[in-house]
């Protein structure tokens, strides 16, 4: 079982990357073959129909599509920007949606979010659902939202709060079980 994990943020010290690292580690323990990607690996310009017509799909988009295609499931850990999907992540989805069939079809998908605020990025996940759903994955109803993320990790990079950590364990356990069993194609 192969699972692609990435944070939808370009910043190197992003709390979303930290949370993605935690999730990747937990999935590895659960026996998954984890493909942990840095969002910077999928470099692509702003979507522009003229650019697509002249140059085709950017290499970074194709790379992201190939990594999704090779995976059974995807974890996206995304910040919330202005109550919505971060522009760079939405841009990647927009480019991906030019590929037929959508590489996301039939993939099992888990969404998470970290944010410095007390809200924890839940509104970004809400905005992400319709945009992603359009492209055919199976979205877990469970989603994990880490608030006050600047203080949420201990020195080892784990989630300091035990209850939250266990909650995440339970969610990922169910996610892996569904990924391993669901015949989506």
Does the footprint of its own copies cover residue 47 (CB under 8 A)?
Answer: yes
Least distance CB 110 / its own copies (angstroms): 11
Q: Which is nearer to its own copies, 35 or 178 (CB)?
A: 178
Contact between residue 107 and residue 79 where contact means Cβ atoms under 8 Å apart: no
Contact between residue 104 and residue 96 where contact means Cβ atoms under 8 Å apart: yes
Does the footprint of its own copies cover residue 57 (CB under 8 A)?
Answer: no
Site for its own copies in 74-113 (CB under 8 A): 81-95, 97, 104-106
Does the footprint of its own copies cover residue 18 (CB under 8 A)?
Answer: no
Q: Which is nearer to its own copies, 42 or 153 (CB)?
A: 42
Does the footprint of its own copies cover residue 116 (CB under 8 A)?
Answer: no
Per-residue burial over 10-41, b if 16 or more Cβ lie within 10 Å, else e, is eeeebbbbbbbbbbbebbeebebebbbbebee
* Residue whose tokens read 């085709």: 56
The residues binding its own copies (CB under 8 A) are 9-14, 46-51, 81-95, 97, 104-106, 118-120, 122-123, 126-127, 129-143, 147, 174, 177-178, 180-185
């Amino acid at each position: 079982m192969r699972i692609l994990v990435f944070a939808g943020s370009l910043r190197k010290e992003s709390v979303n990357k930290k949370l993605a690292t935690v999730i990747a580690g937990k999935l590895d323990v659960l026996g998954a073959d984890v493909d942990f990607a840095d969002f910077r690996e999928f470099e692509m310009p702003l979507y522009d129909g003229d650019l697509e017509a002249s140059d085709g799909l950017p290499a970074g988009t194709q790379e992201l599509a190939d990594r999704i295609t090779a995976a059974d499931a995807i974890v996206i850990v995304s910040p919330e920007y202005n109550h919505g999907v971060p522009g760079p992540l939405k841009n990647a989805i927009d480019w991906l949606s030019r590929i037929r069939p959508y590489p996301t079809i039939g993939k099992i998908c888990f969404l998470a979010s970290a944010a410095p605020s007390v809200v924890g990025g839940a509104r970004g996940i809400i905005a992400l659902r319709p945009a992603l759903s359009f492209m055919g994955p199976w979205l877990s109803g469970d989603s994990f939202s880490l608030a006050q993320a600047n203080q949420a990790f201990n020195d080892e990079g784990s989630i300091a709060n035990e209850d939250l950590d266990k909650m995440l364990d339970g969610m990922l356990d169910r996610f892996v079980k569904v990924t391993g069993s669901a015949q989506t194609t």
